[in-house]
Amino acid sequence: MRNKRRDLIVYFLKGSVRFFALSIGFAMLASFFDLLSPRVVGWAVDSFLAGDDRAVRSALTVAAVAGAGAIFRYLYRLFNSMGAEKLVERMRNRLFEHIERLKFSWYSENQTGDIIQRCTSDVETVKSFLSDQLTSVFRIVIMILIAMGFMISINWKLAIVAAVFIPAIFLYSLFFHGRIGSTFQEADEEEGTLSTITQENLTGVRVVRAFGRERYERRRFEHQNDIYTAAYLKLSILISAFWSMGDFFAGAQVMAVVAVGAYLAVKGQITAGDYIAFISYNSMLSWPVRSLGRVISDMSKAGVSVDRIGYIMNSKEEEDPDRAIRPAMDRDIAFSHVSFRYGPDMPKILDDVSFTIPAGKTVGILGGTGSGKSTLMYLLDRLYDIGEGSGSITIGGVDIRDIPRDYLRDHIGMVLQEPFLFSRSLSENIGIAADDAGQPAIERAAGIASLSETVRHFRHGYDTMVGERGMTLSGGQKQRTAIAQMVIRDTPIMIFDDSLSAVDAETDARIRVELNRCMGNATIVLISHRITTLMAADEIVVLNHGRVTETGTHEELLKKQGLYARICGIQGIAAETKKGGDSK
């Protein structure tokens, strides 16, 4: 565990080590001049009391030493701040980059609020420890060594009195180390849960308002907030006890040194100047000793945060085969004996599914809720991977597991069931899927998605700002914007996962006509519950409980009098023929 923590910290410190090294160097110089100052002051006092003509020179030396210490403290803080900000920048960049490459299943296993908590609060905890505590260790150690050296040179008996309290400070710091760490972890995890509740309520505010659940969600938030507050109160009690004990030992040490030092001064065993210098050194010593104890205590909190960040960084990324193949993507897509379940304890979603999507054709997929329609497309896009011995999916005869994910996804356009729009302009949302998409391309994609007429009614046109998750748009407008996002990429494979459900039948038909007219020889997969969306397809695949039960054209499936015909009867279109535009 310690080696993993160390390796992760070393990895994050790349790029900021030089700043921290300079900071440590200047901190040690500042400490040296700070500790030299009391000794010079002592000489100055003794020279003044003795009427020595070197008193003025000693005073100037005091000023010079203090000035040098101030300069080095400034440089220490400057480079320490630069190192801290570089560290945080790298941590955030590497975390975000790594999260972007994690497996799709990872996101369903981890709460968004907790992930945000790890990437913000825990990052700040690590930064604070490394910049405020760990870099101070060198300064603290040099201060303790130099201070003890000067104190021994002044009076070794008094130095022993001061040193007796140091082991006690270390012992109680170690005592609190583990307790503070475990309590901080509990509080940190509760804060992650609170962040999750907040995030869910902000993104789901429409649902909360629609069902009048404000009071319920408020009580839920307050309950979790009470748990989080109690955890941090427990942590505060421990930290208060830790610092109070430190104050006790520091006060006891100062009192002992002052009393014994006064006794030695009265006895003539120490001069007034040396006594003043020793008291100054003792005051300086108590702070670094207590700070070293704080480092030990805060190390436990930083260790918890490093482990929480390490959980993300150690999560397995998507991997591609060493000898990846980049085949032509305008070829037949074949599902061969595909079976799939989302987890070892989960039921099968797909069971021995086999069918072929001919290149350049339109294939419709129909099935009830939970029949595996969307899962088929997730597997095709490799958002999830088929397990060994659970069948295969090929494009032009090449297994998609041998195709690099970025290449595969660059050639597959997908409109998901629940389109996600960013809090940006409508134009930016449409062009986000393509590099350097110009306005003409954006408007062409919007035209194919039957969005142009709607945009003309917006006051700011394509510059209209879309609310978070597209909340300012209707369901149909969001779906058509998502379709435009996909169309602008002009991929050889296009998947519409129930993405026309929120538009009326006339707009549905118009979009399909435009797709057929403008998309050339693209292979189109239509997933829908609506028969009118699928009936013009070149072939329709019917899924029932994860198995393919029927395949054929609209007319062929009607003649079979199976599940497809029954659904047609329910939707009142059993006697209808192809309409809504010819398919490819």
Q: Tell whether the model's pLDDT for residue 582 goes beyond 50.
A: no
For residues 213 and 204, what is the distance between their CA atoms, to the nearest angstrom? 11
| Whole-number pLDDT of residue 539 | 93
Count of positions (residues) in the chain: 584
Q: What is the pLDDT of residues 107-159, one digit of tens each?
A: 888 888 888 888 888 898 888 888 877 777 777 777 777 777 878 888 888 88
Tokens of 575: 């006697």
Residue 376: which of 354, 407, 403 has the closest Cα? 354
Q: How many CB atoms lie under 10 A from the CB of residue 492? A: 19
Question: Looking at the domain that runs over 2-313, which CATH code has it been given?
Answer: 1.20.1560.10
| Whole-number pLDDT of residue 333 | 94
Q: What is the pLDDT of residues 199-249, one digit of tens each?
A: 778 777 767 777 788 888 888 889 989 998 998 898 888 888 887 887 787
Does pTM top 0.85 for this prediction?
A: no
| Whole-number pLDDT of residue 282 | 78
Q: Are strands 539-544 and 362-367 parallel, antiparallel or unpaired?
A: parallel
Beta-carbon contacts of 465 under 8 Å, excluding residues fewer than 6 positions away, are 423, 424, 425, 426, 472
| Whole-number pLDDT of residue 340 | 93
Outline where 164-213 has alpha helix (H).
Answer: 165-203, 205-210
Tokens of 47: 């020279």
Compute the average pLDDT of residues 473-477: 78
Q: What is the pLDDT of residues 323-368, one digit of tens each?
A: 778 999 989 999 999 999 988 888 889 999 999 999 989 899 998 8
Q: What is the pLDDT of residues 371-403, one digit of tens each?
A: 888 899 999 999 899 988 899 999 999 999 999
CATH superfamily of 325-411+493-515+523-584: P-loop containing nucleotide triphosphate hydrolases (3.40.50.300)
- What order of strands is seen across the sheet that includes strand 412-415? 412-415, 493-497, 523-527, 362-367, 539-544, 547-552
The alpha carbon of 470 is separated from its chain's Cα centroid by a whole number of angstroms, namely 22
Tokens of 350: 């797909």
Bigger pLDDT: 503 or 33?
A: 33
Q: How many CB atoms lie under 10 A from the CB of residue 557? A: 25
CA distances from 230 to 24, 235, 242 (A): 38, 9, 18
For residues 43 and 36, what is the distance between their CA atoms, to the nearest angstrom? 11
Spans of all domains in the chain: 2-313, 325-411+493-515+523-584, 418-490
% of the chain exceeding 90 in pLDDT = 18
For residues 294 and 133, what is the distance between their CA atoms, to the nearest angstrom? 8
For residues 60 and 57, what is the distance between their CA atoms, to the nearest angstrom? 5
| Whole-number pLDDT of residue 336 | 94
For residues 215 and 225, what is the distance between their CA atoms, to the nearest angstrom? 15
Q: How many CB atoms lie under 10 A from the CB of residue 161? A: 18
Task: Please report which confidence band the pLDDT of residue 90 belongs to, taking 50, 70 and 90 as the band edges.
Answer: very high
Radius of gyration of the chain (CA): 35
| Whole-number pLDDT of residue 455 | 84
- Residue located via tokens 């702070």: 287
Residue 43: which of 157, 154, 162 has the closest Cα? 154
CA distances from 322 to 263, 395, 396 (A): 79, 19, 20
CA distances from 134 to 73, 79, 142, 296 (A): 16, 14, 14, 10
Bigger pLDDT: 576 or 349?
A: 349
Lowest-confidence segment of 82-91, 526-535, 542-551 by average pLDDT: 526-535
Q: How many CB atoms lie under 10 A from the CB of residue 521? A: 10
Q: How many CB atoms lie under 10 A from the CB of residue 61? A: 17
DSSP 8-state code for residue 462:
G
For residues 136 and 409, what is the distance between their CA atoms, to the nearest angstrom? 49
Same fold, 325-411+493-515+523-584 and 418-490: yes
Q: Are strands 392-395 and 362-367 parallel, antiparallel or unpaired?
A: unpaired
For residues 27 and 138, what is the distance between their CA atoms, to the nearest angstrom? 8
Q: Tell whether the model's pLDDT for residue 579 goes beyond 60.
A: no
User: Which class is 418-490 in CATH?
Assistant: alpha beta
